Each structure stands twice: as C-alpha cells, then as structure tokens.
Amino acid sequence: MARKKKQGSDSIYESFSDVALLTLATFVFLLVTILITSRLAEENELPRLQKEADMLRKQLNLMEADKTQLQKNLQRVVITDLEGQVEAILKSAGVGHKDFDIFIEGLRDIPGKDIHLIVDASGSMHGVSAFLIPILRVIVTRSGKDLSALTWFSDQATETYMGTMGDMFDHLMNGAPFVGNIENIGRALKAAAHNAPIPGAYVLVGDEPSDDTIYYSEIPGPVFTLALGRSDPYTEREYQTLSEKTNGKMLALKFQ
C-alpha cells in the first residue's frame, strides 16, 4: 500500500510539472508572436512616418523662409519711419547730416563687430527720452554693428541688459528710472566693462558732466560720446575729452 501511495504522489508532481512547462511554452510562444507582430508593424509604419516627417520638414522650411522675408519687410518699414523721425530731430537740433554721418562713419570704421550703449537715465534726461530710442536705433542700424549690450546709470545705480535690440530698448524704457540728479559716468563705464564682454566701442549718451572720476586708462575700448539737450560747455568739454582719450568721436545735439 505504501508503494502505491508513493507512485500516486510522483504522478501528481509530474502532472504539475507538465502543466508548468506547458504554461511556460505558451507564454514564450505568445511573447514571440507579439514581438514578430510588433516588428512587422514597425517595418510597415516606418516608411509612412518618414514620409510625413519629410513633409513637415519642408513645410517648416517654407514657414521659416516666409518669416525671414516678413522680418526684412518690417525692418525696411521701421527704418524708413525712423529715418523720417531722425531727420526732424537733427533739424530741430541744428545739426547737419555731415556731422551726424561723421559720427556714424567713426563707428562703422571700428575694428570690432558690436557696440555697447551707455545711457544716462537721471532726471535731466527725462525730457529727451521721447526721441532717445529713434536716435539710438538709427545709430546702431547705420553703423552696421550689432548692439551687444545696453547699460543705464542714475545716481549710484547701474543696470546692464543683453539680448535683442528691441528687448534691450524695451527694458531701458520700462526699467530705467529717468530720475535722480547724480551722473556717475565713471561708475557706469566700470559696470559696463564688468557686466558684458568688451565691445568694439562704447557709445555714451547723456546731457551732463560726470559727478565722479573717469579713469581713461581703465576703459577697455573707444568711447563715442553723444551729448544731448541744452548747450553746456562743461558737458561738451568732458565728452570731447573722453572721446579723444579713448580714440572715439563726439557729437552734440543741442535742443534749445
């Protein structure tokens, strides 16, 4: 009886083993079937997906070309309008085209590819802020140089912006205070040199002489100076000296 019972137990174990092997074989078969089906589907889908990707790439290239052309057309319209504004500004300032063109030619002849604007944002500049952007935009555009950075200064504060020309001008008009009564040009020149890469030239725009010391030998590039506002011999003398000692040029726009 004991021998028969042992034989029955072995038969049960063998049955479970057979079932397990059959289950494993079924699982492996299903897995292989799924993999083969998936590979066939991928091989059939790949050409279609590649074709769609090529079509999307062509459409994107066409859209980029249209965008570039629209930007060029818009730039021509903007520059045409700006030229008219600058004509009126130069006329009201009593400045001839010759002086303005000499200033621009000086910037065009610098060996570097970019310029860094440094703008007096104190209270005395509030009156000229309305036409400040047209003048600056035309100077940059006519010079053929890139605008790499813009720094404003007022009292003890300075701030430097980098980005596109439009973004920097927007930041200037929205972020600069145009209040205060201290013109620290020396501090502004140091901040500009510290906060941005050295440009081909700096362009300083302001209307009053500096209240601090300017160390000419520490300025890493030529400074072109643009004196705005009323006729002030002290401002013109300082701006002229700054431009001469750094191999730049000076232009005065006098608004009575």
Q: What is the pTM of this model?
A: 0.66
Tell me which of 3.40.50.410, 3.40.640.10, 3.40.190.10, 3.30.43.10 is the CATH number of domain 94-254: 3.40.50.410
Residue 238: closest CA among 220, 226, 229: 226
Residue 133: closest CA among 124, 121, 145, 144: 121
**Domain definitions of the chain by residue range:** 1-92, 94-254
Instruction: Compute the distance between CA of residue 154 and CA of residue 243 in angstroms, rounded to an integer.
Output: 21
Which residue type is seen at 60? L
pLDDT for 31: 74
Render pLDDT for 180-217 as a digit per residue (tens, 0 to 9): 999 999 999 999 999 999 999 999 999 999 999 999 99
Question: Residue 45 above 70 pLDDT?
Answer: no
Question: Residue 121 above 90 pLDDT?
Answer: yes
Which residue type is seen at 180? G
Render pLDDT for 126-158 as a digit per residue (tens, 0 to 9): 877 777 888 898 889 889 999 999 999 999 999
Residue showing tokens 């100077």: 139
Instruction: Compute the distance between CA of residue 190 and CA of residue 11 in angstroms, rounded to an integer.
Output: 94
- Backbone φ/ψ region at 94: left (φ over 0), alpha (ψ -120 to 50), beta: left
**Residues 243/206, Cβ–Cβ less than 8 Å:** no
148 φ/ψ angles, rounded to the nearest 5 degrees: -90, -25
